[in-house]
Chain A
Amino acid sequence: MKRTHLILLSALASAGGCMDFGGYDEPIVLSQEVDDWRNEVIYQILVDRFDNGDPGNDFGVRGDDLARYQGGDWKGIENRLSYLQELGVTALWISPVVKNVDTDANFDGYHGYWSQNFEATNPHFGDLPALRSLVDAAHERDMKIVIDIVTNHVGQAFYYDMNLNGVPDITLEGNNDVGEFRHYTEYDPDFDPRGVQAFTSLGEAGPAPVVWQYDPATNHLPPQPALFSDPAIYNRKGRTVNFDDPDQLLHGDFPGGLKDIDTTRCDVKEQFVDIYAGWIEKTNADGFRIDTIKHVEYEFWRYFTQRVRTRLAEQGKTNFLMFGEIFDGRDDLIGSFTKNDVPDADTLQREQACVPDGQPLTGDQLDSAFYFSQHFQAVRGVFQDAGPTDQIRALWDQRAENWGTEAMENSTGLIPADAPINFLDNHDVARFLFWLRDRPDSERRALLHNALAFLFFAQGIPCLYYGTEQEFEGGNDPANRERMWDTGFDTSSETFLWTKRLIALRNEYPSLRRGGVQVAYSTSNTGDEPDAGILAFERAGGDAGGSYALAVFNTNQDHDSTTRNGDTAMTVLAPAGTELVDVFSEDRYTVGSDGTLDVTVGPVGRALLIPAAEYEPGI
C-alpha cells in the first residue's frame, strides 16, 4: 500500500514538473577545471547580445536600439555551446552577472557595468540556477567561464544636490549682463578635488549632499549590500575629466555618473572579497575579468587578488585566473598591475591593517592584463595601418620589464610577461573591420585574417570578441555590440572557418600556446623596400618542450615582402638544415648553414613554419 502511494506521488510530481532545481539548491563543490591558462582561447560574450534562450526574462527589450536590452541571456549561451565548441574557443568571458541600474538617460545597463546590487543576479540574464547551469554545461565541454566584475564604481546611484534644492538638476545658470554661465549636471558634475561643492546665490556652501535616487521601475535604488548605501564609502569628487591627473583617475566618478567607491577603505576591500569570492563559491566559475583597473589603487588589487586567491584555493580552486582592463596605451602602466612590486614597508604595514586574519600581504596583483598597448601599436598600428613592425619588437622587448616575470602565490602559475591577454578588439573599441569600412570586402577580410593569425600565434592568451568570426564591423559603443543571433550562428562562413583553423593550429602545436617568443625579423620599412612590413617571430622554449614554430607576417598591403633586405637577413633559432613546412602553402624551407632563412610572403599574408618532423598536415 505504502509503495503504491509512493508511486502515485512520484507520478504526480513528474507530471507536474515538481520544483526541481536540478541540484542547484544544494551546496556547490568548487573544482579545478584548468591545467594551464595558456592553453585556453578566451571568447568575450556580451550576454545580452549573444542569444536569447529564455524569452521569460525579456524585460523591457527594445530590439530597435542597441543602447537598450536585446534579450540575450545565460540560457542562450548554454544553448550555443556547441557552436562555440566547433569554433574551438575554450573559455567564455561573460558580462558582469550582478543586478544593474536598469536604464538611465535612455541607455540600459545591458552591458552589466552599472552595478546596483552586487549580490543579486541580473534578472535579464537569468537566475542563479541558470548561471550555475551555464557553468556546469561549459565544464562538461571542458570550457571555462570567466566572470566580469567591477569594483571601481556603482551605477548612477545618487546625485549631488549642488544647489540644495532637493531635486536633481541639469541646468545652465548665468546672468547675461555679466556674461558668465555655469553649465552643470548634478548627476555627473565635473571633478572637484575638494569634493563636489554645494552653492547658493551667496557662494559655496560646503560639500554637496548626496541624495540617493529612488525609482524602482528603473532600479535606481541605493546600492546593495548595505555598505554601499553609505555615502561615506564614495569619494564624491565628481566626474573625471582629466585621466592623467592621478587624483581624478583614482577618485573621480567614471563618466556617465558612475559613482566612484573609496577602495582604500578596509570595509570596502573586505566586502568586495566577500562578494566576488562569493560569486565563485556560488557558481564554480573559473576566473575574473576585472573592469577599470587603473581607476583603483594598487593597494586594493594587492588585497583583493591575494585574499580571493587564498580563499578559493582553500576550497580547491587553485588555478583561478584574474586579469584586468587597463584601457591605456602605456605598456608600463598596464604592466604595473601585474608586476610584483613590493611596496615599501610602511605602505605594506598600513595595508596590512585591513587584513582581518593577519595573513601577510605581498606585492602580488593580477595574473595578467589586456594587452592594450599591443592593440594600439600592433593590431591597429601595424596589421591595420601597415606601420613599421619594429614597433612590435620594441613593445615586446619591454614586456618582461614592464609586466614582471614572477608568478603570483596560490595562483595560475602564469608569468605575467608570458601571458598577456591578446585581443583585436572588444566592446570598448570599434571593431577591427570598422576602421577598414572604406576598403573593398576582399581587402578587409584579408586584413582581418592576417590579424587573427597574429592573435593566435603571438605569445599570450588570445581573446576573441564575439562576432569577429562572423565579420561584425560595428563602430564604437553601442554599434560594436551587435546581436549575434542575427547571423544565424553560421559555421560555414569564410572567417568562421579561418578562425576555427587558426585555433586548431594553436591547439596542435604546443609552441604556439606555451612557447617563448623571439622576434626573428622586423623592420622599420613600410614602403617599396623588399622587406617592408615583415614581422617574423619564433615560438619555442618555455613550456613547449621541443615544439617549434616560426610565424612570418607580411603586413605590407601592396607587394610581396621577404625576410631579407640587402645584408640584413633573418636568423632563426632552428638548427641549420632544419626543414620547415608552411602549414598554409605546404611550401618547404630549409634553414641555411648560417642559420638564416629567406621567406617571401604575399601582401597581407602570412606563413607558419613548422619543423617537418612536427608538421601535422590537414589542419
Chain B
Amino acid sequence: MALLFPGVAAAQPTADEPTVAPAASEPSEDAPRPTPSEPTVDPAEVEALQKRIEDLEARIDALATEEAPAPTPPAPVPPPPQDPGSALPTPPVESGSDGDADHNRPPNYADGFHFGSYGRVAIGTDAKGRPGRDGDIVARGSRIDESSYLELELRREDYWEKTGAYTRIVSTLAVAAPLFHQTGEFATNLGMRNLYIEESGLGSDRLRIWAGSRMYRGDDIYLLDFWPLDNLNTIGGGVSYTFLDDLTVKLHTGINQPQHPFFFQTSPRPLPLGQLGETQVAINDRQKFISSARISNIFPIGDGGGVKPVLYGEVHYTPAAQQETEVRQFQDLPLDTGFLLGTQLGFFTGNRSTHLNLVFRYAGGLAAYGEFNAPTQLGPDRSSSGAREVLAAASGNYEKGPFGLLFGSYWRLFRNASDGLDVDDLGEGIVILRPTVWIGDGGGVSVEGSYQAQRRGVLLNQDADPEPQFGQMGRVGIIPFLSPGGRGNYQRPHLRLFYLLSVRDEGAQRLYARDDVFSLRSIDHYVGLGAEWWFGSTSYFRD
C-alpha cells in the first residue's frame, strides 16, 4: 500500500490490524461514539481530488528519481503481527477502541528515529520519617513500593528497498535509584539494558534475526514486576519465524558472565620477563551459555479474543574450570548445566486488556538460579546439580465500565544444590489484587491488597521441638491517581499518591537482622507520591 503522507502511517490501519470500524466491533462501554452519518461529498469532487493526488504523487516520484540513487530511503511498512496475549502493556489489538491510547500501541517500523521510555519515581516515608523501602518478604512482591527506575530507549528504524528488509537498532539506557535529587550526588547507577539490531523480512517476511545485548522476555505480572516464564538478559542473538499467521517459533542463544568466583576469578601474578610489579591473571574465566526456545500460537476466539499457548525451554551450560583456593593451589570446577521447561496458557478477550495468564515452569541445575546469578550452596562435586525450582503463577486483568481488577500470584519452591535444607532453600508465594475505580476519564482510585508467605529451610532450634522458619505478611494500600490518557489498567502515565499498611508476623520479622526496623515492627506504614509511565519502548511492546 502506498502512503499518501509520511507520519500518518502510525495511525493508519494496516493489513495486519483489524480494519473494521470501531462501531462494528464490540461497542465501547464507557465512551459512546458519534452516530455514523451518510457521506455528503459529491462523487465527482472525490474523483477530481483523487486525480490531483495521483498527479502530485507522480511529481514526487519524478523528483525522487532526479535525486542521487543511493541510499535508498526507508519506507514505512506495516508492522508485523502483534502478540495479543502479552500482559504489559500489550493489550490485544483493538485499534480505535477506547481501551488503549495510540501511544500505548506497538511502535511501527521504518519511522526513523524513535524515543521510548519506561519510568517510575517513588518517594515517600514511613511513620518515623524514614524513606520508603521495599518491604516484601518474597522474591517478587508488590510493585508499588519499588524504588525509582528509568529506561530511555533510543531506536533507529530503516527500510531497505533493495532487500526488502527492515532494520531496528535499539539502545536502552537504564538508571536505577538513588536519583540525584535524593542524594545530591552526581552519581548514577547506569546499565545498558538493550543494544542490538533486529532485521525483519530479510529473505522472508516471516523471519526475524537479531544480535546484540538484549532483554529477552515474554509476558509479565505487572503488579509483581515479574516475568514468571521467561526473562533473559544475555549478549547473543536469535531468530524467530512465524508459521501460518500466529504460530511463532523463537530461538535464541546468548552468553553472560556473572562477576562471581564461580565464573570469574583473578589472581595477582608477577609481571613477565623479569619486570617488577604484578598483573591480574584470570584463573577462572568461564562464561555461561544460555539457549532458549519459545513456541507460541494464537487461536482466535470470537471478535478479537483468543487463546495463546506457549511452550518454553532453556538450556544453561558453563564449561569446566579451575579456581585458585590458595596461592598456586587449584581446585577443579566441573562443567555445569541446567535446563528449564515451562508453559503458559493465555486467554484474552480483545477488549480492554482483559486477559488471564497461567504459567508453570520447572528449572534444574544452573537454570534454577536464574540467568544472572551464580549458584550458591553447591553440591559435593562443586556443581549446581540437584538445584531445582518449581514455579506456578497466575495473573490477569479485567475491566468493565469504570471498574477494573488486576491480580497476580505465584507459588515457588527453590532448593539449592547442597544436600539438606538451609536458609537459602525456600518455599514462598504471594497473592495480590488491585481493584480500581475510575472517576471520569482522568483518574481514579485503586486499592491493593496482598498476602505473602515464605518458609525457609531452617529450624528454629531453641528447644527440642524445632519449628521451621515461616513468615507471613499482609498488606493493604490505597492509591488515588491521575491518568491523563484515560481509563485502563495499562494506561499510563500515572501520577499517584499511595498509602500502604503492612503487617508482619514474628516469622517475617525474623527474616531481618537485629535492629533492622523491619525486625522490630509488626506494623509498618508507607505514605508516598509516585509517577509511572511507558511509551514507545520495544521492551514492553513485544512483537
Contact = CB atoms under 8 A, between A and B. Distances in A.
Q: Does A associate with B in a complex?
A: yes
Nearest to B389: A16
A127 B389 contact: no
Contacts of A21: 421, 457, 459, 468
Interface stretch (A51-59, A175-183, A244-252, A493-501): A51-59
Interface string A110-133: 000000000111000011111001
B457 A19 contact: yes
Interface string B401-423: 00000000000011111111110
A130 B423 CA distance: 13
Contacts of B416: 56
A63 B324 CA distance: 11
Interface string A321-363: 0000000000000000000000000000000000000000000
A56 B422 contact: yes
B457 A53 contact: no
B326 A63 contact: yes
Interface in B467-490: 467-468
Contact of B420 (A52, A65, A130): A130
A282 B459 CA distance: 11
Contact of A55 (B327, B382, B424, B427): B382
A17 B425 CA distance: 10
A278 B464 CA distance: 7
B185 interface: no
A54 B379 CA distance: 7
B268 to A, nearest CB: 15
Interface string A1-45: 000000000001101111111001111100000000000000000
Interface in B31-86: none
B137 to A, nearest CB: 16
B418 A55 contact: yes
A123 to B, nearest CB: 9
A210 B418 CA distance: 41
Contact of A128 (B325, B362, B390, B459): B459
A75 interface: yes
Nearest to A130: B420
Contacts, number: 105
Which of A13, A16, A25, A278 is the most central at the interface, judged by chain B CB atoms within 10 Å of its CB?
Answer: A16
A119 B376 CA distance: 26
Nearest to B390: A16
Given A15-B362, A19-B427, A56 B466 contact: no
B459 A24 contact: yes
A15 B418 contact: no
Contacts of A56: 376-378, 416-418, 422, 424
A25 B467 contact: yes
Contacts of B462: 119
B251 interface: no
Nearest to B416: A56
B428 to A, nearest CB: 10
Interface string A50-86: 0011111100011111000000000100010000000
A120 B459 CA distance: 11
A558 interface: no
A64 B326 CA distance: 6
A529 interface: no
A104 interface: no
Contacts of A19: 413, 421, 425-427, 455, 457, 468
Interface string B358-374: 00001000000000000
B420 A133 contact: yes
A16 B411 CA distance: 11
B427 A18 contact: yes
A215 to B, nearest CB: 14
A12 B414 CA distance: 12
B393 to A, nearest CB: 13
10 contacts: A15-B390, A16-B389, A18-B413, A19-B457, A56-B376, A56-B424, A64-B326, A64-B327, A130-B420, A278-B463
Given A64-B327, A65-B326, A127-B458, 19 more contacts: A12-B390, A13-B413, A15-B388, A17-B388, A17-B413, A19-B413, A21-B468, A24-B466, A25-B468, A27-B465, A52-B380, A54-B419, A55-B379, A56-B422, A63-B325, A64-B329, A79-B380, A128-B459, A281-B463
